[in-house]
Every structure is written in C-alpha cells, then in structure tokens.
C-alpha cells in the first residue's frame, strides 16, 4: 500500500529513466544519420579520373602514327563538339549536387589540395590544345553563379565542389600566364589570328622545340 501511494504521489518518477533513455537513443540516432550523410572527398574517383584523362589525352598524340589520319581528323574536328560539350555539361551537373547545409563540411583534405595541381594542369592542356576556352570560361562562370545562388539559400560547397572550383581557378590562371608568355610571338600570332588568342601547346612544341633552327 505504501509503495502504491508513493507511485501515485510521484507519477513521473518511474517513467523518467525510460523516457530519458528513449531521448538519448533518438539523439544518438540523429547524430549517426548526420554523420552518415556527410559527403566525404572522393579521392579515388578524382585520382583515377585525372590519371585517365592525362593518359588518354596527352599520350594519344604521342602514340598517333600516319595510318590513323582519318581518326585524327575525326578527333580534331568532329570529336570536339561530340566530346567536350557533354564533358563539361556532366561536370556542371555533378557540381550542382556538391552543396551542403553544413559549413563544417566545406573543407578540403590535404590529399585533395595536392590533387588540384595535376587536375588544373590537365584542364589547362584540355582548354589550350582543344581550343575550347569559350566553353571552359562559360562553364566556370556558370559554376560561380550557381555558388552565389546557393549561398542565398545558406548552402555551401562540399569538398568535391571546392576541388572543382580550385581546379578551374588554377586552369584559368595557367591559361592567362600561357597567353601572356606567348603574347608577342609573331609565328603563333599568324597561326592564331582570331580575337581569342590561346596557342596550342603542340603548336608551340612543333614550331619552337622540335623544329630545327
């Protein structure tokens, strides 16, 4: 009787511990879900992607022989439109999903910073050798515009999005330095007389390195 009276006097005492355990378990599950939802930097993806691009794009002209003239023509003239436009479109679509509401996730690991250099160099080679500066700069400006738009919604770039932005920024810097270095080259000026002057690396190599003086 005394025990029953005590329970009636303190009806919440017996339920404090189960309720507290339930709240703690729920709080722990929410933390686990947040931790699981964190988007890590995809180091393996970007490493193999950069390595593959360097091997296929840079090694292909070295291995090209005269019997593949038709393939070379296809790559130089038709392949540009069929490859580069979908390539940058896919990159932009991927970039549009690299946003997070947590600012703490907007940081890059050290390995990602090291990978920015070969990635930026590859895009520099792609832009200059492929003569796609307009497509590149349009994509880069679209990425920056998307960043500003998402910032109004309090969304921040994750590590993968930052990797792309830093790679493109390094590419733009390298292209500017490349153009400034060859700005007064009379031979290349005749070869590229257009408004946008971005000489090809292989043209520079052919005219000034491999050819006898």
**Domain count of the fold of the chain:** 2
Question: Do both 146 and 81 map to the same domain?
Answer: yes
Q: Is 154 left (phi over 0), alpha (psi -120 to 50) or beta?
A: left
Region for residue 211 given its phi and psi (left: phi exceeds 0; alpha: psi -120 to 50; beta: otherwise): beta
Q: What is the mean pLDDT of the chain?
A: 76
Contact 183, 164 (CB under 8 A): no
The more confidently predicted of residues 56 and 8 is: 56
Q: What is this structure's pTM? A: 0.70
Q: Are residues 134 and 153 in the same domain?
A: yes
Please give the residue range of the domain that contains residue 9. Answer: 2-35
Residues 79 and 100 in one domain: yes
Residues 74 and 156 in one domain: yes
Q: Are residues 14 and 103 in the same domain?
A: no
Question: Which is higher by pLDDT, 112 or 66?
Answer: 112
pLDDT at 61 over 60: no
């Amino acid at each position: 009787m005394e025990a029953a009276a005590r329970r009636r006097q303190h009806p919440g005492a017996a339920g404090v511990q189960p309720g507290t355990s339930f709240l703690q378990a729920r709080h722990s599950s929410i933390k686990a879900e947040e931790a699981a939802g964190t988007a890590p930097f995809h180091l393996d993806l970007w490493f193999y992607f950069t390595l593959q691009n360097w091997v296929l794009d840079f090694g292909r002209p070295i291995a090209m022989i005269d019997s593949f003239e038709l393939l070379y023509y296809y790559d130089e003239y038709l392949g540009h439109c069929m490859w580069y436009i979908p390539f940058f479109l896919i990159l932009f679509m991927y970039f549009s999903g690299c946003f997070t509401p947590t600012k703490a996730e907007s940081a890059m690991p050290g390995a990602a910073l090291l990978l920015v250099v070969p990635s930026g160099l590859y895009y520099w080679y792609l832009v200059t050798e492929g003569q796609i500066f307009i497509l590149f700069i349009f994509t880069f400006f679209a990425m920056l515009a998307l960043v500003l738009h998402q910032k109004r919604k309090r969304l921040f770039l994750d590590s993968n999005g930052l990797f792309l932005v830093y790679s493109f920024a390094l590419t733009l810097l390298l292209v500017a330095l490349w153009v400034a270095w060859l700005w007064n080259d009379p031979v290349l000026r005749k070869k590229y007389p257009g408004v946008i002057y971005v000489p090809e690396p292989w043209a520079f190599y052919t005219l000034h390195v491999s050819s006898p003086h």
